[in-house]
Structure 1
Amino acid sequence: MATHGAPVDCSKIEKPWLLLDKQFRYRVRLVNVGSLTGISFTIPDSEMEVIQVDGGQPVISHRANSVGILYPAERVDFVLGWPKSVIDANTEIVIELDKEYFLRPNFALTPVQSFLLGAESVNQQTTKNETAIIRFNLREAMGPPLTHPLPDAGKFFMIYTDIEILNHLNSIPKGFINHTTWEPQNLPLIALSREDWDSHQLVPWTGPEPVWIELTINNVDSSGHPFHLHGFDFYVIASYEGKGGWDYYNPFKPSRPPRGGPFNLKNPVRKDTVYVPPWGYVVIRFLADNEGIWALHCHILWHQASGMVMAFQVLGDEHKGLSNNIIGLSAEQLCMN
């Protein structure tokens, strides 16, 4: 990070560029492989049709020339094309970093980058683009209408998550889910019985049979957290950004309805990574039918590394974990070797 007292001397380099025949349409998959913040992706003179998110789940699209915010681990697929009036004109790709996690000015950071997108045409022109930006807001994405009602949840879980700086932890920032900050054990949990798991492991058991789970993730922080669930896709049935107070949701207190209004049970988007807004909550529903111990964690990597991780044990035995089946035994043998 640069400051006035310690500037960063960056040498100028030639920007990469891309050459496309704008007479064709292209399917593009955009993946945020970053570890800190979200991005928005814009091609001003283009026509984008967003078709899928994350692991190939369909969404309802609308005309756009920009898509975002795409948080770490999120993916989006869109069809990219151009109107005939601009197929001979050069344009640009604009990538903008979300400012949410940049609380202090960094003079070495260029949050908006643009790259030449050249038209592969004999009549190539360079024109100034003044097209209005129409963004497909991924946080508001909806899925197609469900053909069958979403099953009711058989089990409910609720968590609270935040980053804390505590004296007894040497004032080192730690990520918490409920009262647990995760640390890895020497052997993976799948190779151990539950009685051998330490106090840093928050791993509720979903039960011996497949069951629909409803999970409420409450965010106590003033910035959002993109949470990723391994092993499953889930329906996002509620998302609410708080107003700075206690705007959380407790499904075990029916006398206090969710502040974000009724759940969307008609056309919820299906994902495997979801942004949990600041001071707010997200409610997801998924069928727990894939046996294993599956991590749920914030995909801002330093949040994950500092402890913002938990897991679900799906199927198996509540007391033995998975250590007596072939998966657990092979994991133990692999780690011992």
Structure 2
Amino acid sequence: MMVQLDQDGFKYANPVLTPDQTFPINYRSDAVEGPPLKAHHLNIGEAPSAPSILSSIPPTAQQTHMVYTKIQKMARYSNKPFGYFNQTTWRPQQDPPAPLASIPRAKWDVNQFAITTGLEPVWIDLVINNLDEGSHPFHLHGHHFYILAVHQAEFGWGSYNPFIDKIPPHLESESDGLKNDTVEAHKPNGYDSGLYNTSQAALRDTVQIPSRGYAVLRFQANNPGVWLFHCHMLWHSATGMAMLIDVQGDPTGLAAHADGGELCPAF
């Protein structure tokens, strides 16, 4: 039996740690112990989907959105941990206390951070930058997505801004000498959603984003509604590590979803 310790929870590297351990399991007391077997290691998180599944992914997306996420402790909140997406910590709608799909976006309270996709079904590229010290498994309700890239930086914040960086950090080693730390690379950029190798994508509904890293997801926003995108560690979601994707809602924010349901008389 092989056991591999996940070192993501360690704040600092431990040079004397042996993260991989092998233990023989014998069914007979007189069994002769042989050399340890060499097992093929398969990282399920990086395994691409079958070509028949990937045939439906388009080479480019119609919209691109970028978000940042982190858990922070601040003195004004008595150093309690709160999760954030783009400086908004999520809580259930309270003012008024109604389902979000049943009220116009203009009436949502300040705890609702959402990206909107417009009235028509579109393909979205969503870039999530994880600024936290630990990795997080993020889950999207209402849709599956294709994982185009997951990357963790060796140093620094490890973020990717598709509107500035001409080369995604995970592709810098394959570029023709252009790096994102050059002046040329930081000029305003027309994002090229066709630069990913879609033949290596994976269809999922949850993605593990490493600390100080990012993921690029592509999905078709074709399921009308207000959908939660959140850390799948429920205690992290409870701290506010969640955001919303408003699919095929009113772009002006002045009308509720057509099938959002009727409000209770109390509302």
Specify the TM-score bucket, using the shorter chain as the normaliser: 0.7 to 0.9
Q: Distance in 1 between matches of 2:59 and 2:261?
A: 31
Q: Report deviation, 1:172.
A: 0.9
Q: Are 1:144 and 2:55 matched, yes or no?
A: no
SS of residue matched to 1:266: helix
Kindly report which structure 2 residues correspond to 1:253-292, keeping only aligned pairs within 5 A, or say none: 253-254=164-165, 256-261=166-171, 263-292=196-225
Kindly report which structure 2 residues correspond to 1:228-307, keeping only aligned pairs within 5 A, or say none: 228-254=139-165, 256-261=166-171, 263-307=196-240
Q: Does the CA-based 8 Å contact 2:48-2:199 persist in structure 1?
A: no
Q: Distance in 2 between matches of 1:232 and 1:134?
A: 32
Q: Does the CA-based 8 Å contact 2:11-2:133 persist in structure 1?
A: no
Q: Does the CA-based 8 Å contact 1:291-1:316 persist in structure 2?
A: yes
Q: Report deviation, 1:189.
A: 1.2
Q: Report deviation, 1:300.
A: 1.6
Q: Distance in 2 between matches of 1:252 and 1:128?
A: 57
Structure 1 residues 218 and 128: alpha-carbon distance in aligned structure 2, compared to 1, 3 A threshold: same
Q: Does the CA-based 8 Å contact 2:71-2:82 persist in structure 1?
A: yes
Deviation track 1:6-59 (CA, whole Å, cap 9, x = no partner) reads xxxxxxxxxxxxxxxxxxxxxxxxxxxxxxxxxxxxxx5xxxxxxxxxxxxxxx
SS of residue matched to 2:129: strand
Structure 1 residues 205 and 222: alpha-carbon distance in aligned structure 2, compared to 1, 3 A threshold: same
Instruction: Find the counterpart in structure 2 of residue 131 from structure 1.
Output: 37
Structure 1 residues 160 and 127: alpha-carbon distance in aligned structure 2, compared to 1, 3 A threshold: farther
Structure 1 residues 151 and 131: alpha-carbon distance in aligned structure 2, compared to 1, 3 A threshold: same
Structure 1 residues 222 and 155: alpha-carbon distance in aligned structure 2, compared to 1, 3 A threshold: same
Q: Report deviation, 1:169.
A: 1.8
Question: Is 142-151 or 178-187 further displaced after alignment?
Answer: 142-151
Q: Does the CA-based 8 Å contact 2:121-2:248 persist in structure 1?
A: yes
Q: Distance in 2 between matches of 1:246 and 1:97?
A: 24
Q: Report deviation, 1:314.
A: 0.4
Kindly report which structure 2 residues correspond to 1:64-103, keeping only aligned pairs within 5 A, or say none: 98-101=6-9
Q: Distance in 2 between matches of 1:135 and 1:336?
A: 57
Structure 1 residues 313 and 149: alpha-carbon distance in aligned structure 2, compared to 1, 3 A threshold: closer
Q: Does the CA-based 8 Å contact 1:294-1:313 persist in structure 2?
A: yes
Greater helix share, structure number: 2
SS of residue matched to 2:115: coil
Pick one of 62, 66, 76 that aligns with 1:168: 76
Letter in 1 for 2:66: M
Q: Distance in 2 between matches of 1:192 and 1:170?
A: 33
Deviation track 1:111-136 (CA, whole Å, cap 9, x = no partner) reads 99xxxx999xxx9x978684333332
More contact order relative to length (CA 8 Å, sep ≥ 6): 2
Kindly report which structure 2 residues correspond to 1:1-337, keeping only aligned pairs within 5 A, or say none: 44=1, 98-101=6-9, 130-145=36-51, 146-147=54-55, 150-185=58-93, 186-254=97-165, 256-261=166-171, 263-318=196-251, 319-320=253-254, 322-323=256-257, 325-329=258-262, 332-333=263-264
Structure 1: runs of 5 or more not aligned:
1-43, 45-93, 105-110
Structure 1 residues 317 and 265: alpha-carbon distance in aligned structure 2, compared to 1, 3 A threshold: same
Q: Does the CA-based 8 Å contact 2:59-2:198 persist in structure 1?
A: no
TM-score normalised by structure 2 residue count? 0.74
Q: Report deviation, 1:202.
A: 0.4
SS of residue matched to 2:169: coil
Q: Report deviation, 1:191.
A: 2.4
Q: Does the CA-based 8 Å contact 1:149-1:266 persist in structure 2?
A: no
Letter in 1 for 2:233: I
Q: Report deviation, 1:144.
A: 2.5
Structure 2: runs of 5 or more not aligned:
13-18, 172-194
Instruction: Percent identity, please.
Output: 38
Q: Report deviation, 1:137.
A: 0.7
Structure 1 residues 210 and 132: alpha-carbon distance in aligned structure 2, compared to 1, 3 A threshold: same
Q: Does the CA-based 8 Å contact 2:116-2:247 persist in structure 1?
A: yes
Letter in 1 for 2:77: L
Letter in 2 for 1:314: V
